[in-house]
Chain A
Amino acid sequence: MTDLRKSDRLIKLGLLMIAFSAISALFVITLFIFEQGGPIMFKYGLKSFIFGQDWYPSEKIFGLWPMIVGSLMVTLGALIIGVPLGLATAIFLAEFSSRRLARILKPVIELLAGIPSVVYGFLGLMFLIPFIRENLGGPGLSVLAASIILGIMILPTVISISLDSIRAVPDCYREGSIALGATRWQTVRMVVLPAARSGILAAIILGMGRAIGETMAVIMVAGNAAEIPSSILQPVRTLTSNIALEMGYAAGEHRQALFATGVILFVIIMVLNTIANLTASRQGKR
């Protein structure tokens, strides 16, 4: 008896420590980024750091505005492409396809998530970039290319989470609607989707997180010019690309400015998540 109790207590203590180490890792990372990137932002002024139009690290001009706009454009583009496609797929699999087809297709879609991002970038470079250059104009490396690649990359996230939330809607709602003489599509549109709303929103938030954080594939297809693109056919640089491209050779204040880029990215993701969560919980209550 006493032995058992003692081992229980030991295990509990051990698990507690492991759990805390995971949380403290987050803490340490946050602290480190802010410690490294914070001071330089205040040295050159928060305003010029965020809204500065020019990024010439060798001349100590650190304006992140083009990259902030770039990240937001590319993420928005990915959502515009990925969300309708993903949601339509989820609706089809949950409500209209046969169970057998869904059982085959769902794992296939989840395989998409297993493809390394460098492969997405490579495929984009080989096929998408020449296609855009020849048919739509511009250098090919562009906001559009990055949006398309990211839109495809967020599909597995958007599909599987919204599929789960659509499937979690109790069948009694569907029966009630069909029994009133509604068609299947009316039932989906007017009852099932509203009931699955918070899950679908979660799917979009997670897709957004994936898109804004993705680096390698974006570097390969976006062109990476550190200026605000004049159209979606022009090159763009995102916050993540900015860090990855220059970290290898940066030193001193340049290095700190890259950490500051990380701080901005961190804050943007926090703000977007909070907004999305707030709308989710408010709509959930209604």
Chain B
Amino acid sequence: MKVEAGEYLIEVRNLNVFYGSFQALKDINLKLQAARITALIGPSGCGKSTFLRSLNRMNDLIDGARTEGEVFFEGKDIFSPETDLLELRRRVGMVFQRPNPFPLSIADNVTYGLRVHGQNDRAWLEERLYWSLQAVNLWDELKDRLKVNALELTGEQQQRLCLARLLALEPEVILMDEPCSALDPLATARIEDLMYELKKKYTIIIVTHNMQQAARVSDFTGYFLLGELVEFGETNEIFTKPKDPRTEDYITGRFG
């Protein structure tokens, strides 16, 4: 990794996102540190997911979405025309709210990203398959079922598999959009343990509705309300002495 742990990896400047005439994000400014977990909290429809999807330009897929401002990733603006979009998405991976493994075999799911990026050497693919499944603690469970369709796995296994699918590509950033909302509490706890482990090597940004989860796993927390980033800071400060009364209202459960 070029950027050391704790240094700034992503810098967001004056980011505005519009869906048609609706402004989903208002003038977001933010710096994110490498090898840390940043949690984004706030009520539904307040721009958390939109912000997350700006970072790997997934909003490009939405008809009528328009973006203003800059997002610097390792010092380069991802919205500049020189950006290699496919390479950006390889380096900034994403885990979705509902596990979405492809209806292919487990092995094909994990090696999918490598294959679309032109890597076809079988020995290398198998090595990455082993490594990636190890990294999400699935290898022992699934090593005899690599040819099985991924849709036959449990929800938790599917979500781990989606993570393995990313890790195979050696990304630098992992974006997680409420990755545990479809999982039971025990599975959630295990995924959180995994995030803690992954933090050593990857920069993780997680959107969550679950404030306990944000408090448990994250180093930094940002609070989004109606498209604005109301407050951003170290997690224990946000949760113990928030500066903005609106943040306090939310985390003490007065609304939301």
Contact = CB atoms under 8 A, between A and B. Distances in A.
A177 B117 contact: no
Contacts of A180: 89-90, 93, 112-113, 116, 165-166, 169
Contacts of B93: 179-180
Interface size class of A (residues with CB under 8 A): 10 to 19
Interface of A: 170, 172-173, 175-183, 186, 190-191, 194-195, 286
B58 A181 contact: no
Interface size class of B (residues with CB under 8 A): 20 to 34
Contact of A172 (B61, B98, B116): B98
Contact of A176 (B85, B86, B96): B96
Contacts of A172: 96, 98, 100
B229 to A, nearest CB: 23
A59 B96 CA distance: 74
A179 B58 contact: yes
B103 A175 contact: no
A192 to B, nearest CB: 10
Contacts of A190: 112, 115-116
Nearest to A180: B113
A47 B150 CA distance: 49
Contacts of B115: 190
Nearest to A98: B63
Nearest to B115: A190
Nearest to A179: B94
Contacts of B113: 180-182
13 contacts: A172-B100, A173-B103, A176-B100, A177-B112, A179-B58, A179-B94, A180-B116, A180-B166, A181-B89, A181-B90, A190-B112, A194-B104, A195-B102
Contact of A191 (B89, B102, B162, B166): B102
B193 interface: no
Given A179-B93, A190-B115, A195-B103, 9 more contacts: A175-B58, A177-B102, A180-B89, A182-B116, A183-B86, A183-B116, A194-B102, A194-B103, A194-B104
A103 to B, nearest CB: 14
Nearest to B97: A172
Interface centre among B56, B94, B98, B103 (most CB of A within 10 A): B103
Nearest to B104: A194
